[in-house]
Amino acid sequence: MAPAMPKGPVREINADRSGPFDNAQGRHSEVSAKRSRQVPFVDTHCHIQIEEFDEDRDEVLIRAREAGVGTVIVVGGAGALSTNDQAVHLAEANADLYATVGMHPHDAKDVSAEAMDRLRSLAEHPRVVAIGETGLDFHYEYSPRSVQQEMFERFVGLAIETQLPIVVHNRESDREVEGMIRNHGGGRLEGVIHCFTSDTEAARKFLDLGFYLSFSGIVTFKNAEDLRDVARWMPLDRLLIETDAPFLAPVPKRGQRNEPAFVCFVAETLARIRGIEVDEIADATTRNAWTLFGLPADASVRES
């Protein structure tokens, strides 16, 4: 959902960096206490390449590793085209980071032929594990719907061509996203509906198409009871977790700048509502991430 949030509030959040720093130690022990064995988490969707992290990106990664996050997928296309190159550079420099390349539906109207060529060549990079984020956002409609759909279709084509999974942003466009996957995916398209916020009916359709559903900090929000119902009901073998950092920090960090370490709060909420251990959530979601993104099975235990 990255660029959906206006720039202003993010800068305010960024200014309040003392929170995560001060609480890092307490949060870590609080999480570890509930986990008998340290199955690593995968934050399958964040934007730590963008400028909100320029001052403390290394510390953010250290906190993620301390919180048991073994792998982080840095999602390109969060604003400028250059966020894709930045995502790939981060993945080149860190063994536990991978990148995706795409353009957010908000920016669909600004994707030139040259930009598409650049993305096509970046997609061949060995550290790139998916195409996206792409998709549709009919809530904000920063780009006209027809332009979003045209761009989404091109990224679906690129995903099929490169045999990579696709990271789909979907806001108030369930029917159209489903139609795109069904009509243009050729039955070969794999992927994830990231930051899933739709209802059970939509969930069932995406699951029927073989897609994974990824839950963000929204599932921890007080008023997200309907979303928790979906998360409680859906099969564990299609579940993924993410932060979408710097956006959508989960409770109890809501309002702060989000970061990959906080994915543990998403996992804790999912464990609680499903009545299972956090380790089981870590186990399942990490295995699912390895499967979907084709990560080496030892990725999460490698030293970077």
What residue ranges bind Zn ion (CB under 5 A)?
1-2, 169, 244
Residue 29 CB, shortest distance to Zn ion, in Å, is 29
Residue 242 CB, shortest distance to Zn ion, in Å, is 8
Residue 83 CB, shortest distance to Zn ion, in Å, is 10
Q: What single DSSP character describes residue 6?
A: -
Whether residue 40 has a cis bond before it, omega within 30° of 0: no
Which residue number places its CB atom closest to Zn ion? 169
Residue 137 CB, shortest distance to Zn ion, in Å, is 8
Pick the closer one to Zn ion by CB: 45 or 63: 45
Pick the closer one to Zn ion by CB: 1 or 284: 1
Pick the closer one to Zn ion by CB: 73 or 284: 73
E strand or H helix at 130: strand 128-137
**Beta partners for residue 18, in sequence order:** none
> What's the Cα-to-Cα distance from 107 to each of 79, 122, 141, rounded to whole Å?
7, 18, 10
Contact 192/170 with Cβ under 8 angstroms?
no
Pick the closer one to Zn ion by CB: 31 or 156: 156
Residue 88 CB, shortest distance to Zn ion, in Å, is 16
Residue 45 CB, shortest distance to Zn ion, in Å, is 6
Q: Long-range contact list for 118-123, CB < 8 A, 24+ apart?
A: 118/81, 118/84, 119/81, 119/84, 119/158, 120/158, 122/76, 122/84, 122/85, 122/88, 123/158, 123/162, 123/164
Pick the closer one to Zn ion by CB: 68 or 135: 135
Pick the closer one to Zn ion by CB: 260 or 278: 260
Contact 176/168 with Cβ under 8 angstroms?
no
Contact 176/189 with Cβ under 8 angstroms?
no
